[in-house]
Amino acid sequence: MMRPGKKYWEIIADNLSKAGWSWGCVSAVDRDGRTIWIVDAHRDDGKRFIVTADEKLTAFLELERITLSRCNVS
């Protein structure tokens, strides 16, 4: 049996870990009954980012964008 490939959000999560970030992901239901995704990343230097989105992949893409744009600036 063939093992399915990684989902794109898993690749982003792996890249965050390799870059020194600890991350977490949770889903919740808002007061209107919609599922929302909350992802966060933090590291030892005190930087922390939290993102919410309607879809898991969207949340991870936004977290990736924020961590890259705000932390790779010299």
Tell me the pLDDT tens digit for each residue of 5-64.
899 999 999 999 999 999 999 999 999 999 999 999 999 999 999 999 999 999 999 999
Collect all residues with Cβ–Cβ distance below 8 Å to 65 and sequence separation of at least 6: none
- Any domain includes 3: no
Three-class secondary structure assignment of 15-48: HHHHCCCEEEEEEEECCCCCEEEEEEEECCCCCE
- Any domain includes 2: no
pLDDT value of residue 9: 95
**Domain extent for 29:** 8-71
- Any domain includes 1: no
The total domain count for the chain is 1
Domain harbouring 66, CATH code = 3.30.160.20
Q: How confident is the model at residue 74 (pLDDT cuts 50, 70, 90)?
A: very low
- Any domain includes 46: yes
- Any domain includes 31: yes
Nearest to 52 by CA among 63, 68, 64: 63
Q: In whole angstroms, what is the distance from residue 59 CA to residue 65 CA?
A: 10
Q: Contact at 8 Å (CB) between 40 and 24?
A: yes
- Any domain includes 58: yes
- Any domain includes 63: yes
